[in-house]
Structure 1
Amino acid sequence: MNFWDKITGNDMTKEFKAFEARVKKLPADYQAAWKEINDHLWPHSDFTGRNLMPILDGVLGLLEETAGDEQPIQEVLGDDIKGFCSALAGEEGAKSYRDNWRKQLNNNVVKKLGK
């Protein structure tokens, strides 16, 4: 990846287009689950969202594999997609921008208090 693509986000745009092309091949219920997964995972992203790309790729691979096996989406993800996404982001170490800001604020307070 060259510097210009990294700065402008062109590399991520290409990946998102590839993801969307893969999602269009999935059954309708899997596509709806993908949209919901995206909605719940993005709050765990860093400023650019690059930390979520491997996670999203893995989830899409899981959906493709289970759709190929013709498993129902509820059997794959369960009823709590938000909990699935939280567990997934927590296991992968994806911290949200709020976590980073909280850590920075705490560090600044500690410095000001002289501890």
Structure 2
Amino acid sequence: MNFWETITGSDLTREWKAFEARAEALPADYRAAWEQIKVHLSPYSGFTGRNLMPILDGALGLLEETAADGQSIQEVLGDDVEGFCAALAGGEGARNHRDRWREQLNRNVARKLGQLGG
């Protein structure tokens, strides 16, 4: 990845298109699960989404492998796709964008209150 790709995000666009092409080859129930995985992983994304690319690649690889083995999507993901995605993103305690914004807001308020009191 060169500087220009990093700035423009063209590398991400290329990777995303490759993911979608791979997902199109999956059976319908697996494609539906892929859509759910993308939705449930998006809160864990950084500003550019670059941090999710390896996670999405791994999740799609898992779907491809298990579909080829003939497993049902229920056997692979279970009933809790959101929990599965939280585990992929770093566990139940994984911070999402709301947690980061809340922490930033709390720091800013504490700093302002410290300025008013001192």
Q: Give the TM-score range, shorter chain.
A: 0.7 to 0.9
Greater relative CO, 1 or 2 (CA 8 Å, sep 6+): 1
* Aligned ranges 1:1-115 → 2 under 5 Å: 1-91=1-91, 95-114=95-114
User: 3-state SS of the aligned residue for 1:91?
Assistant: coil
Shift of residue 12 of structure 1? 0.4
Length-normalised TM-score, structure 2: 0.85
Paired letter, 1:87: A
Percent identical? 71
Shift of residue 93 of structure 1? 8.0
Shift of residue 97 of structure 1? 2.4
Q: Which runs of 5+ in 2 are unaligned?
A: none
User: 3-state SS of the aligned residue for 2:54?
Assistant: helix
Q: Describe the superposition over 1:19-72 as per-residue Cα deviations: whole angstroms up to 9, x where unpaired.
A: 011111211111111011111111221111111111101101111111111100
Higher-Rg member (1/2): 2
Q: Which runs of 5+ in 1 are unaligned?
A: none
Query: When the two structures are aligned, how many residues end up with a matched partner?
Result: 115
- CA distance in structure 1 between the partners assigned to 2:47 and 2:23 by the alignment: 25
